[in-house]
Structure 1
Amino acid sequence: MIEGSVDGILSAARARLGDAPRERLGELQEGRRLLGIPRATRIAPRGTAWHLGALLLTDDGVLATGDIVRSRAEVRRGFAAESQRRRAELSAAAARGGVPEGETVHIEWHPIDLASVDAGSTPLAVRGGEALVRWSAAGGYMPLTRYLDERIDLLRHPPERA
């Protein structure tokens, strides 16, 4: 019963999204060796989804958002932090995977099984029969319908210069 209500809420959101812009999904693939020479890591395409904050909504499922990377050509440069180096490597991997420069791609996302939604393991939870979403790791829960209303409005009408 509860799974059905969450699924119904998500189906209604899909209908409202219609032709709203989608973002790419990708999967990080470590480079294999070809004739003993290591190949570079790349991000392989895995479809598209509507990015709704902590959730990625696909035509037939819902995913928990992971990392978001903007595709950029690989260039040599110095980095002050290892995290900057890793982000640049991921951006270059997106370009090698065919993501046009400047576009975003979502990686390290996780499918959410609506049949086993519980607090703590996904951004979605059901408490007292109400579907809730946790919009950040440190944030609290809010009603899923209200969250989706806000996110769909932002996606359809982004703030100026966003």
Structure 2
Amino acid sequence: MPTELIGEYRPAKRVIGITRAPRIVAVGEAWHLGALLVTADAVLATGDVARSLEPSRKGYTAISARERDELRFAAYRGGVPEGRAIHYNWTPIDFSALASGGTSGPIVAQGGELKIRWSAAGGLAPLDSYVRERIELARGLM
């Protein structure tokens, strides 16, 4: 199962009087399992995704299209190969919060069981079956 890049957004900054454009820099790789990103040593809640695109001049009819392209350009400036996706604005899952019966990201401890809210409007599903299904989908077994 292939991994996907995870990164961090770095805002524009001035270096020796020159403004350096914002970028999204890769900080690792993870397996993407729906609402979760799993690294070798952490579980993260997904955030946003940008597909790297080399900057070019374009005419935009919508501000939202310009904003999406600026994020794609930021990924390219951060060294992400053109066309490759990178996840950013992710958050680590806090297992201590879950152990005390709380919530972290999309995961909820409820009635002694871990459940996941797989979408903003979706209900809760048992975490173990959700992860198992996502792994099977990623491996192409379903």
Do these two structures clear the TM 0.5 threshold for a shared fold by scoring above it? yes
Shift of 1:143: 0.5
**Count of aligned pairs:** 139
Gaps of 5+ in 1: 1-19
Gaps of 5+ in 2: none
The separation in 1 between residues aligned to 2:44 and 2:86, in whole angstroms, is 14
Root-mean-square deviation (Å): 1.5
Are 2:110 and 1:127 equivalent residues in the alignment?
yes
Are 2:43 and 1:62 equivalent residues in the alignment?
yes
Are 2:115 and 1:145 equivalent residues in the alignment?
no
> What letter is aligned with 1:71?
S
> What letter is aligned with 1:104?
A
Q: Which runs of 4 or more aligned residues in structure 1 lie more than 6 Å from their structure 2 counterparts after TM superposition?
A: none
| Greater share of residues in helix | 1
Are 2:59 and 1:78 equivalent residues in the alignment?
yes
Shift of 1:31: 2.1
Moved more, 56-65 or 29-38: 29-38
The separation in 2 between residues aligned to 1:24 and 1:69, in whole angstroms, is 10
Instruction: Write out aligned runs for 1:33-72 (5 A).
Output: 33-72=14-53
1:158–1:51 CA distance, 2 compared to 1 (3 A): farther
> What letter is aligned with 1:69?
A
Are 2:122 and 1:136 equivalent residues in the alignment?
no
Match of 1:12 in 2: none
**TM-score normalized by the length of structure 1:** 0.81
SS in 2 for 1:155: helix
